[in-house]
Chain A
Amino acid sequence: MKPLNEMKLSFPSKSANEAFARTAVAAFVAALDPTVDELTDIKTAVSEAVTNAIVHGYRESIQTIYITAAIYPDNRVVIRIRDKGCGIEDIQKAMEPLYTTSPEGERAGLGFAVMQSLCDKVKVTSRPGKGTTVTLTRTLTGRNG
């Protein structure tokens, strides 16, 4: 299916950009006339993925995070958050609720659990030393649905 609209975004992995990233994606998705709850869900899921890229992917060094987003005629939103950071050795383990490699930073280890509960589908591909891509898919019911 051909997307109705697409966008690409890249920005340095500064934590100040977490708010920018989720707000920019929300503004893009607004074309599908989502409900306030749907928009909040998407902002939260994007915030989790971007924070993961900053904290884990790039280990707080400043490099580039890439986001692409597409909206489809069936009200599907597909958002891809990519880093070229350290990658994940064991994706299954990383996605386990409460698993974290950063307890001293008070990370709850719930980023993926939150993404999974707020999206229809969360796909993670990663190669150690090469980076990680998280693809979030969510179909919106919208205000008319």
Chain B
Amino acid sequence: MSVRIYLAEDILTAYLSGELDHHVVRTIREEIDEAAERAHPAVLVLDFRDVTFMDSSGIGLVMGRYALMQELGGELKIENLPNHIKKVMRLAGLERLANMETGGVRK
């Protein structure tokens, strides 16, 4: 699991890749939060296109980043969800929290 974080204008995008579970989520969370707190972006984008596995630890990650962006006065978007991940997110009702792009995966 790794995360690459880019800032463009006031949009901070975190590209996640690999398997997202309880074991790796702490490091990922810390890296994203550090970047967001430094940049105070208007939008934080979590891009899931390269996430090959996710359990409810990923839901915790999204909920926590939603809370962080509320605090920073910004918006959270989740993009490029593969179907298996969409399934877990739907279960949590996350589409009500974050702006969830429902289209297919952009490659």
Interface of A with B (CB < 8 Å)? 15-16, 18-19, 22, 37, 40, 43-44, 47-48, 51, 54-55, 105-108, 110-111, 113-114, 117
Which of B23, B61, B63, B64 is close to A18, meaning CB atoms less than 8 Å apart? B23
Q: Is the CB of B19 within 8 A of A108?
A: no
Q: Is the CB of A18 within 8 A of B22?
A: yes
Which of B22, B88, B91 is close to A54, meaning CB atoms less than 8 Å apart? B22
CA distance A22 to B52 in the complex (A): 13
Residue in B closest to A114 when the chains form the complex, CB atoms: B56
CA distance A47 to B22 in the complex (A): 9
Known contacts A44-B55, A48-B55, A55-B22, then 15 further A-B pairs from the complex at CB < 8 Å, ordered by chain A residue: A15-B22, A16-B23, A19-B19, A37-B84, A43-B53, A44-B88, A48-B56, A51-B21, A51-B56, A106-B63, A107-B56, A107-B60, A110-B59, A111-B56, A113-B91
Task: Determine the chain A residues whose CB is within 8 A of the CB of B92 once the complex forms.
Answer: 108, 110, 113
Task: Determine the chain B residues whose CB is within 8 A of the CB of A113 once the complex forms.
Answer: 56, 91-92
Interface residue B40 (Cβ < 8 Å from any Cβ of A): no
Most A CB atoms within 10 A — which of B54, B57, B88, B92? B57
Residue in B closest to A46 when the chains form the complex, CB atoms: B55
Interface residue B29 (Cβ < 8 Å from any Cβ of A): yes
Q: Is the CB of B22 within 8 A of A110?
A: no
Task: Determine the chain B residues whose CB is within 8 A of the CB of A110 once the complex forms.
Answer: 56, 59, 91-92
Interface residue B11 (Cβ < 8 Å from any Cβ of A): no
Interface of B with A (CB < 8 Å)? 19, 21-23, 25, 29, 53-57, 59-61, 63-64, 84, 88, 91-92
**B18 CB to nearest A CB, Å:** 10
Q: Is the CB of A15 within 8 A of B23?
A: yes
Which of B21, B53, B57, B91 is close to A117, meaning CB atoms less than 8 Å apart? B91
Q: Is the CB of A106 within 8 A of B23?
A: no
Q: Is the CB of A108 within 8 A of B88?
A: no
Name 21 A/B residue pairs within 8 A (Cβ), A-sorted: A15-B21, A15-B23, A19-B23, A22-B53, A44-B53, A44-B55, A44-B88, A47-B53, A51-B21, A51-B56, A54-B22, A105-B60, A106-B25, A106-B61, A108-B57, A108-B60, A110-B59, A113-B91, A114-B56, A114-B88, A114-B91
